[in-house]
Structure 1
């Protein structure tokens, strides 16, 4: 996106009148549309509603025009009915991932032990807890910025967030107790990172996107450790692309889990579910 020299200004006074607000929105929409924002009207509404002063509005519009993701401009993302805080550089939770949370919610109830690996902002764990009732939530991410952000998002549900690589930072006493393992793993093949929209490849941490040569390096590592952490009858859920689904299912099955695939065409979501056999 290229910047424009025109800076929208909020009219002076304690509040905008209806006509003033309409003029302001038109100005912001024009800037965003010129910068290539497909949903300029919706974005303008959100930005103008969030800005508290003329200076803040101008700064927010400028950041969006420069290509910063809307969620980073606002400081939050809507995810399954929640307003999740998203700091600059932190992976923005995708709308398609709401499908994964819905599938997870159908598998557990209140009091479940839940682990959210590659947690990013903590959106998945927070949304699941909000949906099924209080759970025993543990989350982990290798990115320090994501960990700081996730701690704020899961505070209200009593979740704990750890910094480190996959299972490594989790408390050892969780082994064999986890009823639900969510893993929002990176699964973009390394050579395809350059094809992602600038909002992702420039403004989100590469570690949250890059899944290795075929996109499944992290998936294989998560699957390899899942049986040691899942309780009997526990479940592992993660996303993959439709193209990767056969290899992802095979990776899960090789690790001793029963595997199945679910999807939502409208959201473009493909979710792999691995289940540890129940005892008895």
Structure 2
């Protein structure tokens, strides 16, 4: 009896050992299979994933290549710069600007109006717009003052409207001669204004001369906005005054033309202004800072 019990116990123990060994072997087989599969995946990527990544890479590379191929590299950009510059020829300037600068660095241009005695330096005093009302171009005290612009304008003549001021001097100097343009005959003869700068000559065509209210043009009208531009010139054209003269062929176009305005006191009424306005026709010599050079196309 004891023998049978012992024999049964040994059989159960052997069976249990066999089961454990089988389970261990199966677990080992599964583990080895997982390792093999992982290694396979590492060395041989899934075809679909590989294709997608390849496609994405191709698209990304193509986009990048397209973008950068459309942009010049630094070397080609540097080499191309001179080709984009507007060519220009030096021009003889009939003004000794260096001598003027040595006397007064506020000088930046010269104005000449053929058919009048207006032939003067143009100045701008940064931070003191009233200085040249009672100082001559050399900086000496003078009731005649000088021809000047205010610092609301740049000194490049690239603004939509550059305004120059001058007295109607009792000695018939400065801008006294402007009001002679009330005469139809004088207005017909006096057509152009020349602005000389150290490396360029600007030619303007006069399109209007008229008495006007004593308001600060640059502070009341923004010529960069069409509404202001149109309103101002509608006012000018609606003037009922025998002293107003116009030249339609040079009338300015919004956003395209550069205007030069000359302003002085009206001889018979110091509370009003006499205004002469002109439009830029050509630039000889070095281009303006915005690239303008040559004859301005006004056929548009």
TM-score, structure 1 normalization: 0.23
Structure with larger Rg: 2
TM-score, structure 2 normalization: 0.22
Structure number with greater CO (CA < 8 Å, separation at least 6) is 2
